[in-house]
Structure 1
Amino acid sequence: MSIDEGAPRRGGRTRSPQAHQAVLDAAAELLEEIGYQALTIEKIAERSRVAKSTIYRWWRSRADLVMEAYTQRVAERVPDPDAGGLEDDLTAFLGRLYGIAGYPLRARALQGLMAEAQLDPEFARPFREWVESRRAVVLAMLERARERGEVEPGADLEHMTDLVFGPFWYRLLVGHAPLDPAEARAHAARLLDGVRPGGGQSDGSKGDKGRPHTP
């Protein structure tokens, strides 16, 4: 018996929370096990024990389902830190982000999603929405810091956000250098040196690698 059988329905619009989460969990697990190209609704239905017809009613495409599942999973692994200081918050965020290096299946899945987004316009839309959701976390972090006076009032926060994610994506996709959580504090400090009020530097910019944060 599938998990959603017996639940009340009104034209397929009512979702069982348990079935909904089971589908998301199955999609996220399979994405990292076999990759997006090999992932099918049939396999998600089998893993989640939710009827395939139900999944098709709840999500308009495989891409939307997979990216909703991945958005949830990444938000759990790399939450929004808010300890009250930008360098510490950014260090924590980067440490978790770089921690993907310790999980080859996760890294391979993310590389595959980026590649798919370049080739499939239907997939590119939900992928960009996911990217924007992660950028929003960093932008909110920077906005809080600007309100506290830790960042120059005129700093370009959109560009700063690009600089946060740039090294991550470049190293993940090109592989020319490792993603090392131990480098998170030094990277955060170098990024912030140019936007602190008065142009002040922190000790972290002198090579303090700080403590790694891993998923």
Structure 2
Amino acid sequence: MKNGIQFLCLLVFIWACSRSDNDSTISPDGVNGPKNATALLNDSSWYASGSASRAFLVAGDQCTTNRFNIYLSNELPYPKGARKAAPYNCIGPCNTTQYLSFEKVPLTIGKYDVNWLTSCTPSPITGANYGLIVGGDAVFASYRAQGSNSGWIEVTRADTAANVIEGKFEVTLTSQDAKTVKFRNGSFVLPLKK
């Protein structure tokens, strides 16, 4: 009997150690893992999948020269338990509930203030943005960088030969009705699309 209990405990231990942890940190291969960005969103674990792409070049616009954009998304409910259901006839990525984007980030190693990213464009909705969405594309809450202490994004690796971007971020973004979201200890390892 004692050996049977020990064997059962051993099996449970092996099973627990082999389980996949969907909230784990970035996988070692980063770019090919199921999630390639993590952070704390208002002190709760947050993760997303995404990619980076070179900014579309516009003649005479210095904000598009040697820059890239980041788009991250996930299917996590936020706030907890408040997942908005997609319409019954939804077509496309219907379960996406959140996105975080950074636009016109310099394609070089360095730390950049997100307000500087916002000021580099005539559109007030670019720079750093976070949104809650339903049906994969309908925004029902939008947050953006406002004020002088909105945070930063740091590029720690910009490998254009291997097409990989790595970095960190900490941002506080505000909605039109003055609600805020705070991302801390953010990190990403993203494929750079051309």
Tell me which interval the TM-score lies in, with the shorter structure as reference length: under 0.3
User: TM-score if structure 1 supplies the norm length?
Assistant: 0.22
User: TM-score if structure 2 supplies the norm length?
Assistant: 0.24
Higher helix share: 1
Higher strand share: 2
